[in-house]
Amino acid sequence: MNIKQAKDYIKNSVSLYLKKDEFGDYRVPVVRQRPIFLLGAPGIGKTAIMEQIAQELGIALVAYSMTHHTRQSALGLPFIEKKHYGGKEYPVSEYTMSEIIASIYDTMEESGIKEGILFLDEINCVSETLAPSMLQFLQYKVFGRHAVPEGWVIVTAGNPPEYNKSVREFDVVTMDRLKVLPVEPDYRIWKEYATERGVHAAVLNFLDLKKECFYVMEMTTQGRSYVTARGWEDLSEILKLYEEEELKVEESLVEQYIRNPKVVKEFTAYYDLFNKYKKDYRVEEILAGTPSVQALARAKEAPFDERLSLLGMLLDKVQAEMKDVMEQAAYLSELRAPLKALLTKTQDGKAEGVDENTMGAGNESSDALAGVIHMLDQMIEGRRKLLYNLQTAGSLSDEDKRKHKRVLRFLEERRKELFLREFSDPKAYDDSRPDSQESREHGEGISQDCNAAGNWIKQKYNGEVARMKQETQRTGEQLHALFSFAEQAFQNGNEMLILVTELTVGKSSSAFIATFGSEDYRRHNEELMLSERQNDLKGKIAELGL
């Protein structure tokens, strides 16, 4: 199976293992919860899918590599305990808690999340002294004298012997206690993940043309030669940094991540060509809707690999913009509920920290601001705690991390601005504040100050929404320009099918189109579906010999 199929299987298994009956007991007893064993080549994403599963299920993740563990660190250290039996005292051997089990309890204590996945990587590379204890662990979920807490599912992973000299092949007794999932590299599945992760367009375009270079594992006279998905992703990150700093990318850099001389030479040559295409075609002009005559003419006559590279560059830019818009939308949606609660209190003049005892005691405007700032402080502290808990539990995706940090930044900036206004000019944000002695005596001044502060925060939020709408419109215009260029340059070629397909399978692009619409996408998608149905009918007619 591929890594996506393995992920779905593990996710379903974890969900079933954590299912409870009417009394709150787990439906599948611990002894029957077979640990899952992912068996696959290195660097295909085994650890990555475990993080995704924990994030999607909202549970914790504790991950350990078993290669560095000795019997003592995994099972605990012995010590002598005094116990009484039949009125006599006896020295008895006990064991400290295993480092692995302790880390689970630490995670539960710090995050507040009581269910999770214990992921043990390279499980078939354990030391010789630890190997006999693995059978007990895999069946009874016990390390030494301490059991894995209820609500924690065990998933393990390892490499086949041909990839790792340290591998110890499990016997039948051990394997019979595992659910074994053999996983094979699959570029098509990895590309879906890589597109969402923002892997460099040069990497994806190269692999689209040279799929056989995605994963390579072979023995040469110089030793083992290999290329892995992990290597491509790491190379992508360093390429982006090199481009930011305007540093030259050479073979010596690429070979640090891609350990196959032939693939290194081919990719480095393609990367230079990719940058030449980018400069010659002027991608920014195409997406602005003003492609040059030369760019259109060249695209029409270009060979398929050049067209594919150009399309990849254009798609990479547009999909990155779509992803940013969708993340902005998620952040503003997350921010809406706490701001609504804050506005309700400020409109009623009930900012926490302001009560009747403070009314009229001094500067009412400062009292009101102090109450609003106090509420913002509580919101900030709550958001920081949530972010910390999710990070501690290992169940925070990169997208959610950025979302929470954006919310925090908005709240912290508003808090800082209100604080500075309080000590500079309390009236600066409220031109309609009543100044009559009668209104002050009845607390109306504080109410108005709270309301004005709340409205000011609301205006700041509306400003963020307006900026997102502008970005949405600009991204929609870029998408239209992309389709327009493809229609002119590629006409009825396969490039249009690739364009529609990539937009459909991309998580952010499909979400953007579903949310904000695209007439170009809808029209071409319908045309391609109709064409596909016609070809299917023609095929069936041909089979009938009519």
Write out pLDDT tens, residues 49-96. Answer: 888 899 899 999 998 887 776 666 667 777 888 888 888 888 887 777
Helices and strands, number each (H, E), in the chain: 21, 11
Distance of alpha carbon 480 from the chain centroid: 28
Q: CB of 199 within 8 A of CB of 236?
A: yes
CATH of domain 3-184: 3.40.50.300
Q: CB of 399 within 8 A of CB of 333?
A: no
Distance of alpha carbon 398 from the chain centroid: 4
Separation CA 314–CA 515 (nearest Å): 21
60: part of which helix (H) or strand (E)? strand 60-65
Quote the mean pLDDT of the chain: 83
C-beta contacts of 93-99 below 8 A and 24+ residues apart: 94/145, 95/144, 95/145, 95/146, 97/144, 97/146, 98/73, 98/74, 98/143, 98/144, 98/146, 99/69, 99/73, 99/74
Residue 364's pLDDT is 52
353: part of which helix (H) or strand (E)? none
Residue 42's pLDDT is 79
What are the start and end residues of each CATH 3.40.50.300 domain in the chain? 3-184
Separation CA 151–CA 153 (nearest Å): 6
Residue 444's pLDDT is 45
Separation CA 339–CA 346 (nearest Å): 10
Separation CA 284–CA 13 (nearest Å): 46
**Sequence-separated (6 or more) residues with CB below 8 Å from residue 379:** 338, 342, 411
Residue 535's pLDDT is 53
Q: CB of 182 within 8 A of CB of 159?
A: no
What dihedral angle (degrees, nearest 10) is formed by the CA atoms of 431, 437, 438, 440? 60
**Sequence-separated (6 or more) residues with CB below 8 Å from residue 140:** 30, 31, 147
Residue 521 tokens read as 């996408």
Separation CA 20–CA 115 (nearest Å): 12
Distances in Å between the Cα of 415 and the Cα atoms of 88, 139, 424 are 66, 54, 14
Type of residue at 510 = S
Class of residue 452 by CB neighbours under 10 A (exposed 0-12, middle 13-18, buried 19+): buried
Residue 450's pLDDT is 76
**Within 13 A of 29's CA, how many CA atoms are on the CB side?**
4
Residue 351's pLDDT is 52
pLDDT tens, the chain, 546 aa long: 888 899 999 999 999 999 988 888 888 887 788 889 988 887 788 888 888 899 899 999 998 887 776 666 667 777 888 888 888 888 887 777 778 888 899 999 988 899 999 998 888 777 777 777 777 787 778 877 788 888 999 998 888 877 766 666 776 777 777 888 988 888 988 998 888 888 999 999 999 999 999 998 887 767 778 898 899 999 999 999 999 999 999 999 999 999 999 999 999 999 999 999 988 899 999 999 999 999 999 999 889 889 999 999 999 999 999 999 999 999 999 999 999 988 888 776 555 554 444 433 445 556 667 888 888 999 999 999 999 988 888 888 888 999 999 999 999 999 988 888 654 444 544 444 444 344 334 344 445 667 888 888 899 999 999 999 999 999 999 999 999 999 999 877 788 888 998 999 888 999 999 999 999 999 888 877 755 554 554 454 355 443
Separation CA 44–CA 217 (nearest Å): 12
Write out pLDDT tens, residues 143-198. Answer: 777 888 889 999 988 888 777 666 667 767 777 778 889 888 889 889 988 888 88
